[in-house]
């Protein structure tokens, strides 16, 4: 029998099958939770004094095949023994097949598995749903963004005739409730001067051609007003000339003399750039040792400073996106694309097509590292990247 020296991981309430040992594999041990605690007081020395160190005892470890708690072999992972942690797997929470997500589906709830029990949370990201009646069976049943009886929170009632809009009773001063939305009827093109009064895009007396970067809409509660497209401004203030105007001539997203608004001037050497937070004055990319690339997520004329040496979305030049396969992370090193495996995964077959195909935490043929095989023919599982072992019982197989 081979003797293994190492740290034993105590997992309560676990019975194990003990058997033959192997000398070429990495192991994780499971100790009987019912064993009495060890005596950590140093033994007396030969001369009657206290010893300053303890020798680590040899612990005989043998192959184990029975899943220690909280691990289990569930139907969806039958090829990997003991691959499911019943403490935190929301599809197998506390027991195989107990799905927290299935229990929460359609009830405006999110679900997690915590210590083997499903924990439900109300979804409040888009529409804020709360559990106002305290009954778990119907989940989070109340949208407090729209409910007049529970406006912004459970039990907050709006006054008679006042609607709950975006979690508040009624509209702020200066805005009008038009069909459940608070609008400014002075300038709202769909509710101009009154609710449901939509302005025509081309009035009969409109200009042909229309001044640059303008459109017709609502101005001072009347339709037919020339207005600027987003990101442009009438900084010379001649829109009042109508068809004789040069329109909204200033690009507020790129003009350092009018950055974000007319008259907002950048400091010398700065540029006006929209990097997703609206136009703002900033240092030129070149002075920072960076390149400048389009930033389409922020819309027209938006740009961003990028590091061509390390940016996997702009590696070496604008728009060069480094690819990544299954369980891989794209990298950019000195302007050259690469890829690395996500933590806990490995490319054991050397085939880039299927990426990092092996989960080293549970794969019995590649347990913790490629090629490190457990005795999976006899049912020895791989748990957290180590083959399962347990203290030997005189070489006798027990459960």
- To which H or E segment does residue 214 belong? strand 214-219
Q: Which residue has the higher pLDDT, 76 or 143?
A: 143
Region 39-68: mean pLDDT is: 59
Distance CA 191, CA 94 (A): 55
Give CA angle at 100 (99, 106), nearest 5°. 105
Flag whether pLDDT at 184 surpasses 90. yes
CB 367 within 8 A of CB 382: yes
- The predicted pLDDT at position 133 comes to 95
CA-closest candidate to residue 14, choices 72, 58, 95, 77:
72
Mean pLDDT, the chain, integer: 84
Flag whether pLDDT at 55 surpasses 60. no
Flag whether pLDDT at 300 surpasses 80. no
The torsion angles phi and psi of 296, rounded to 5 degrees, stand at -60, -25
- Please state whether the peptide bond connecting residue 70 to the residue before it is cis, i.e. omega within 30 degrees of 0: yes
Query: Domain spans of the chain?
Result: 1-34+56-83+362-399, 308-359
Region 20-37: mean pLDDT is: 41
pLDDT digits (tens, 9 = 90+) for 148-167: 999 999 999 999 999 999 99
Q: Which residue has the higher pLDDT, 19 or 230?
A: 230
- To which H or E segment does residue 104 belong? helix 100-104
CA-closest candidate to residue 290, choices 269, 273, 307, 303:
307
Query: Could you tell me the sign of the dihedral formed by the alpha carbons of 311, 314, 317, 322, in that order?
Result: positive
The fraction of the chain above a pLDDT of 90, given in percent, is: 70
What is the separation, in whole angstroms, between the first and last Cα of the chain?
A: 19
Distance CA 319, CA 335 (A): 12
Region 331-342: mean pLDDT is: 96
Flag whether pLDDT at 207 surpasses 90. yes
Model confidence band, residue 78 (pLDDT cutoffs 50, 70, 90): low
Choice among 45-54, 163-172, 261-270, 336-345 with the minimum mean pLDDT: 45-54
Q: Which residue has the higher pLDDT, 333 or 124?
A: 333
- The predicted pLDDT at position 79 comes to 66
């Amino acid at each position: 029998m081979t003797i293994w020296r190492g740290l034993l991981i105590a997992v309560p309430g676990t019975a194990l099958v003990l058997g033959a040992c192997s000398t070429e594999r990495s192991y994780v041990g499971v100790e009987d939770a019912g064993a009495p605690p060890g005596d950590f007081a140093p033994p007396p020395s030969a001369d009657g004094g206290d010893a300053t160190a303890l020798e680590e005892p040899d612990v005989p470890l043998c192959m184990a095949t029975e899943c220690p708690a909280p691990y289990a072999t569930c139907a969806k992972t039958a090829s990997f023994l003991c691959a499911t942690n019943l403490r935190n797997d929301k599809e197998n929470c506390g027991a195989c097949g107990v799905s927290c997500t299935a229990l929460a589906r359609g009830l405006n709830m999110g679900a997690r598995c915590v210590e083997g029990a499903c924990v439900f949370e109300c979804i409040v990201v888009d529409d804020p749903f709360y559990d106002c009646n305290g009954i778990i069976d119907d989940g989070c049943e109340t949208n407090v963004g729209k409910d007049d009886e529970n406006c912004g929170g459970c039990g907050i009632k709006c006054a008679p005739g006042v609607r709950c809009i975006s979690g508040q009773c009624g509209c702020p001063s200066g805005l009008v409730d038009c069909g459940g939305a608070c609008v400014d009827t002075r300038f709202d093109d769909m509710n101009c001067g009154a609710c449901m009064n939509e302005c025509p895009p081309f009035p009969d007396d409109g200009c042909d051609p229309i001044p640059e970067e303008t459109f017709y809409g609502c101005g001072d509660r009347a339709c037919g007003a020339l207005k600027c497209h987003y990101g442009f401004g009438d900084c010379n203030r001649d829109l009042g000339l109508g068809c004789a105007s040069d329109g909204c001539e200033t690009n507020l997203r790129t003009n350092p003399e009018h950055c974000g608004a007319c008259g907002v001037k950048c400091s010398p050497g700065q540029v006006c750039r929209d990097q997703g937070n609206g136009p703002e004055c900033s240092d030129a990319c070149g002075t920072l040792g960076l390149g400048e690339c389009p930033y389409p997520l922020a819309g027209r004329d938006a740009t961003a400073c990028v590091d061509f040496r390390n940016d996997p979305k702009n590696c070496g030049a604008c728009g060069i996106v480094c690819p990544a396969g299954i369980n891989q992370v794209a990298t950019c090193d000195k302007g050259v694309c690469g890829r690395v495996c996500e933590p806990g995964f490995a490319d054991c077959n050397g085939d880039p097509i299927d990426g990092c195909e092996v989960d080293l935490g549970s794969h019995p043929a590649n347990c913790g590292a490629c090629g490190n095989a457990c005795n999976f023919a006899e049912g020895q599982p791989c748990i957290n990247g180590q083959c399962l072992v347990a203290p030997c019982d005189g070489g006798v197989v027990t459960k």
